[in-house]
Amino acid sequence: MRKLFQITFNNFLCSKVFYTRMGECVGEMAESTINPLKRISESCMNAVEEKRPLIETPRVKKRKCAVLICYSGQGYLGLQRNPGMKTIEEDLFVSMLKAGVITNEAFDQPKIIEFQRAARTDKGVSAVKQVLSVKLPLEVCLKTVNSYLPEQIRMVAIKRATKGFNCKGNCDARTYSYMMPTFALSPQNEPLSEDYRIPSSVIDLTNKVLETFLGTHNYHNFTSRKKPLDPSAKRYVISFSCGDPFIIENMEFVILKVKGQSFMLHQIRKMVGLTIAIVRGLTSIETLTRAYGEERLDIPIAPGIGLVLEEVHYDRYNQRFGKDGIHEPIEWSDVEEELEEFKKQYISPTIVKAEKEDKSMLVWLNSLPLHSFDVRIGDRIQVNTDDSNINNEPIKENNEDTSDIKEKLHLPLTEGLNGTLTNETLKNS
């Protein structure tokens, strides 16, 4: 009996060992079948890691800065970067990348360095004091950055700003100038000539027209894609004036200067365009008053080549942080001579050349009488929503003869249109 028990027990132990070993073999086979790629991948990664050199990229400390740049907009499609387009910012970013001021990641994603511009300028528009806010290394060599820039774009100065500084949001006001030949303000019934010399009476008349822009008004007619009741169409103009005439290359010019809190797309050029039309006698001052209303009027837009961003103002910021001993005031009096020299060398000659060779203002003035200065065709829809025209049917146009309109467009300065306020009345006010 004992012998039989011993044989049975030995068989049990052998079977247990057998099945345990069998399980281990099956597990090894399963693992080798399921994870061969994983093991190969891990071995490859280990091999690559062994060959890769250990490069430690030093972390460059950056601070928020206010950067002053100046540029001539001739040949550029504006300031703001636009893929595939020639813009000021594109050339600027390329130069900063080559100079080692920004990384490839910052070049592709400017938000990384909190990049912002104070004022966006359009095609052909120049700037004397454009301000950018951006996080940059503590030491930036302006000479190196400028070596990669074309001569018509310069990075002039860098000042340390507060951590939350935003060149657009902290801006109190912007000043623009518009340089144009004085024959643009000559009476409509006089021939256009480069020999024209503007009398002081026309300068005075121009300033009286410009004064009507002061204050807060609805400028939906002076931009595009703004509805009459859009609150953002209201803008505040602080000052607007015409300076004394001066002569360059035997052509007389004047400069209009306007300062405002902010301006919309094409706003200044349309303000200048309507001013020229009023002074030349093509329309009356009443058109300007109507333009502030809800009607959609046909307002001409002056050429962009004469428009220049002169300055961006930071009065409140400077008052709060400019004298705290840590940050510098955002003002550029120490580089004023350099900026004036750049303007004389690259901006003013570009405007003069456009008038002497391309005749940009002359061509535009010849098309000015084609504007109606009235409600635009297709926009004569009743503005209010009362029951008198519940279906919003188009209001019928006046069937005036075209020749009659042309006669009105060529009236002398002392005659008004349709009995409205005349330029002569404005002159005597």
Binding-site residue ranges for substrate: 176
Do residues 66 and 131 touch, judged by C-beta distance below 8 A? Answer: yes
DSSP string, 198-223: --HHHHHHHHHHHHTT-EEEE-GGGS
Amino acid at site 177: S
Task: Give me the residues paired with residue 255 across strands.
Answer: 179
Tokens 């300055």 — which residue?
311
| Distance from C-alpha of 369 to C-alpha of 371, rounded to nearest angstrom | 5
Burial of 237 from C-beta contacts in 10 A (0-12 / 13-18 / 19+) = buried
Q: Which of 91, 108, 122, 172 is catalytic?
A: 122
- Integer-rounded Cα Rg, in Å, for the chain is 35
Local structure of residue 120 (DSSP, 8 states):
-
Binding residues, by number, are 176
298-325 in b/e form (b: 16+ CB < 10 A) is bbbbbbbbbbbbbbbbbeebbeebeeee
Active site residue 334: no
Which residues are designated catalytic?
A: 122
